[in-house]
Amino acid sequence: MIGFVIRKTLYDLWDNMLKIVILNLGFVAVVSIPTFLPVLAAKYFNSTALEMALSAFGILLCSIYLASAAFTIKSISDYSSFSFGDFLRNLKTTWVAGLVMGLFVFLLFMVVTIILPFYVSMESPVGIVFAAIIFWVTVFALLSFQFYFTVYARLGSSIKKSFRKCMIISLDNSGFAFFFFIHNIVVVIISVLFVFMFPGPVGVLLYLDEAVRLRILKYDWLEANPDANRRKIPWDALLIEEREKTGTRSLRNFIFPWKD
């Protein structure tokens, strides 16, 4: 299943490269706010609180942008396309979800950079225990909520339910969650070579959307077969239609698709 997700996403990234690049350029423009505003503030104002406030503001903007992007690119996973008007329309309906995740990310940032070092510096058994708890809770949060934007876009408009479903997906598919967490780190590293234009953060969202959309097939099958073994999902049967729609391509097909 994971191999098919990667293959289908590569096809979809290639077929929609220009749109993906433009969305990534928009994100790069937005992310420049938390990058440069705190530096500019530090140059003219000696205020840590102001720097943190500007950083939080930038994180919120980035999160709102990604929420709209997640809603926009899911049409690619569904074998369709999108217009940039769709992005603006989605922005009106997803900004609250993006705002909530932005606040959560900022809180997580504060925990990792302030609270965790504080307990580590205590150099006592109590400090070590609390530091360990915070560390593993943070790891679980990263593994679970990497799916937040996709789950929110795919499975309803309830923010609370989206957080809960993210945790369920991570707990029920720990290997799956860990693989995509590492995979997306690799994708981000590769994106650095292309100045985050491709695959970039939008490419990461597309990978996650493809993965969650196909993972939902598992739960649909389990709902239809409640007595089935949860550890033996018939992916070959479940993905027959998806594989037929996606097809296969050679290197020649990628470079010269018009020659088919």
- For residue 139, the model assigns a pLDDT of 96
What's the angle, vertex CA 180, arms to CA 151 and CA 242, rounded to 5? 70
Residue 183 lies in a domain: yes
Higher pLDDT, 247 or 101: 101
Q: Indicate whether 260 pLDDT > 60.
A: no
Give me the DSSP letters along 44-67: H---HHHHHHHHHHHHHHHHHHHH
Going by pLDDT thresholds of 50, 70 and 90, the confidence category of residue 119 is very high
158: tokens are: 């309830």
What span, in angstroms and rounded, lies between the C-alpha atoms of 191 and 43? 30
**Average of per-residue pLDDT values in the chain:** 90
Residue 200 lies in a domain: yes
- For residue 235, the model assigns a pLDDT of 92
Checking phi first, is residue 88 left (phi over 0); if not, alpha (psi -120 to 50) or beta? alpha
Query: How many structural domains does the chain have?
Result: 1
- For residue 257, the model assigns a pLDDT of 61
Give the pLDDT mean for 215-225: 93
What span, in angstroms and rounded, lies between the C-alpha atoms of 122 and 101? 30
- C-alpha neighbours within 13 Å on the C-beta side of residue 163: 8
Alpha helices in the chain (DSSP H): 2-15, 17-44, 48-77, 84-110, 116-121, 125-145, 148-154, 159-172, 174-193, 200-224, 235-238, 240-246, 251-255
Residue 120 lies in a domain: yes
Residue 260 lies in a domain: no
Per residue in 122-136, pLDDT (tens digit) is: 888 999 999 999 999
What span, in angstroms and rounded, lies between the C-alpha atoms of 91 and 87? 6
Q: Write down the pTM of the prediction.
A: 0.91
Per residue in 126-164, pLDDT (tens digit) is: 999 999 999 999 999 999 999 999 999 998 768 999 999
Which amino acid does the sequence have at 77?
S
What span, in angstroms and rounded, lies between the C-alpha atoms of 30 and 231? 42
- For residue 256, the model assigns a pLDDT of 62
Residue from 138, 140, 151 nearest 215 by CA: 151
DSSP 8-state class, residue 159 = H
Length of the chain (residues) = 260
Per residue in 169-202, pLDDT (tens digit) is: 999 999 999 999 999 999 999 999 998 999 999 9
Which residue range(s) make up the domain with 247? Answer: 2-255
33-37, 44-48, 121-125, 255-259: which is most confident? 121-125
- For residue 157, the model assigns a pLDDT of 67
